[in-house]
Amino acid sequence: QVQLVESGGGLVQAGDSLRLSCAASGRYFTMYAVGWFRQAPGKEREFVADISRSGGGTSYADSVKGRFTMSRDNAKNTLSLQMDSLKVEDTAVYYCAARVALGGRDDKNYQYWGQGTQVTVSS
């Protein structure tokens, strides 16, 4: 089992950068692939990015590709999501999540979730 706690959200202007972090506790963190999802008001939760157990492979939603970078530090049990060139449409609650199963873009494959952190991008 793993517990996840996000941090780093806030209010920024369009074009700014923000770095989200996710601290993981529990044993065997390297057993889990990890993803970031987001949910805007009135919308369904959507995939943002995921990273393999080793950190060697990443995948991004088309809407954030080239602007967001996900990484993990298995020695420190931490994840990060560097968000550059933020847009108003990036406004959402961002969640990190961990999974054992394959299929990183489907939130149903994730067993563990953090509580979320709010990111608001103003124009």
Task: Give pLDDT, residue 1.
Answer: 85
Strand stretches in the chain, DSSP E: 3-7, 10-13, 18-25, 33-39, 46-51, 58-60, 68-73, 78-83, 92-99, 112-113, 117-122
Task: Give pLDDT, residue 3.
Answer: 94
- Ranges of residues in the chain whose predicted pLDDT is under 70: none
Task: Give pLDDT, residue 80.
Answer: 97
Task: Give pLDDT, residue 60.
Answer: 97
Task: Give pLDDT, residue 102.
Answer: 80
Cβ neighbours of residue 76 under 8 Å, at least 6 residues apart?
A: none
Report the C-alpha gap between 31 and 54 in whole angstroms.
Answer: 9
Task: Give pLDDT, residue 101.
Answer: 77
Assess contact for 60 and 68: CB atoms under 8 A.
Answer: yes
pLDDT in tens, 37-60: 999 999 999 999 999 999 889 999
Give, in degrees to the nearest 5, the angle at Cα 85 between 74 and 87.
110
